[in-house]
Structure 1
């Protein structure tokens, strides 16, 4: 009997994280949902269960190195060895606000490195040894469009986003012959269903203004699955934002 594969969705939320969980779950994966709060986990698990998808939920702040390693260690005894990790917390951490590139100082640039880049490196350090030992596994890390194109208004995020993107692309190159697939989903724009999208939608409703175009998380999750199956593409881009030609 084949062992069921497991995907750990770290930073599980109502937008892309849940769509990733559903998409891989439809392919027979058991899903480990990890988020900082248990408040919405029961609803997530109920939705997955209705679709015939096995899941477990865990509470941890995966930006904390100890919490990250502890939660990863708890998943395997419950569900089995982790085949795939989707590291969602890095996708949309704009808690410090948008700072144009011309106003970015060292302090403003440092925080995104601490919340975007370093947690991703901690994740890889936690899961990669087992994956390389067995010669299989996948790591999917989304990132921001400002890491690929110069978008001055997102300047505060650009240095960390660029570092994260190059880190993932370099890992892909280093590991592609060793059975471990690493790739990035480069995202520019709001994702439907996510918390940021919900907050922005309410703002536009109050203004009685038209909401900007948004990204469909189901389409992104479909592409993530195709990337996982093909195991060749190091990056896919999804954007509603204008970028330099």
Structure 2
């Protein structure tokens, strides 16, 4: 079994990788920080699984595609594709520019398309696509206007992915985190990772493409 994490780092994405590693999933990690990826890889290896990583700018479709394909080849198959990144830009609708919005959406939404299309040949029936969502999709904060757009679009895209792939036995789900990430309490990265893990293991007969996590 294996998980491919897009936007891997020390937060929720790292917790997701470790949670699936405890189930025996080898990991492929795509991110921008070599040191963070190496550290996470060591943590996963300590859990008894193989971990590989690629440094890539996922907004660069060619680089992202190449990185995902290399990792999929090393893993042999992709059982879970987890998408985590988003852009946090402090700009309200009166100052946010169209190029900035498009740049943020490319990172927080478009890169999922790139990763999915690159990983799809390595995904078989039973594979899952998961994504870290946010309450910003429903209650956007004006001061970070692009974040709400990203998360609303991400949820919509995940629903489309599920509709396109469920006939092949592949399902997709986004987990809407209805709280602020913290080091303690209900919204630690590890608690959110547990919610994502549970969403990936839903009964397919009652599958939901969007699962809220309220702690």
TM-score strictly above 0.5: yes
In the TM superposition, residue 130 of structure 1 has moved relative to its aligned partner by 4.5
* Contact 1:16 1:217 (8 Å CA) reproduced: yes
Q: Does 1:170 align with 2:166?
A: no
Residues 7 and 180 (structure 1), Cα distance of their counterparts in 2 relative to 1, 3 Å cut: same
Query: Where does 1:108-127 land on structure 2 (aligned, <5 Å)?
Result: 108-127=100-119
| Rounded Cα–Cα distance in structure 1 between residues aligned with 2:36 and 2:43 | 11
| Rounded Cα–Cα distance in structure 1 between residues aligned with 2:104 and 2:94 | 17
| Rounded Cα–Cα distance in structure 2 between residues aligned with 1:121 and 1:145 | 22
What TM-score comes out, normalization by structure 1 length? 0.75
| Rounded Cα–Cα distance in structure 1 between residues aligned with 2:65 and 2:2 | 17
Match of 1:41 among 23, 34, 37: 37
Q: Does 1:226 align with 2:201?
A: no
Q: Does 1:7 align with 2:27?
A: no
Q: Does 1:98 align with 2:90?
A: yes
In the TM superposition, residue 112 of structure 1 has moved relative to its aligned partner by 2.0
The root-mean-square deviation of aligned C-alpha atoms, in Å, is 2.5
Please, which runs of 5 or more residues in structure 2 have no aligned partner?
Answer: none
| Rounded Cα–Cα distance in structure 1 between residues aligned with 2:115 and 2:151 | 16
Q: Does 1:152 align with 2:142?
A: yes
| Rounded Cα–Cα distance in structure 2 between residues aligned with 1:45 and 1:224 | 20
Match of 1:180 among 170, 185, 202: 170
Match of 2:73 among 73, 77, 85: 77
Q: Which residue of 1 aligns with 2:189?
A: 217
Q: Which structure's CA Rg is the greater one?
A: 1
What TM-score comes out, normalization by structure 2 length? 0.84
| Rounded Cα–Cα distance in structure 2 between residues aligned with 1:154 and 1:77 | 38
Residues 103 and 13 (structure 1), Cα distance of their counterparts in 2 relative to 1, 3 Å cut: same
| Rounded Cα–Cα distance in structure 1 between residues aligned with 2:74 and 2:59 | 22
Q: Which string of whole-angstrom CA distances, capped at 9 and with x for unpartnered residues, describes residues 199-226 of structure 1?
A: xxxxxxxxxxxxx977211111111111
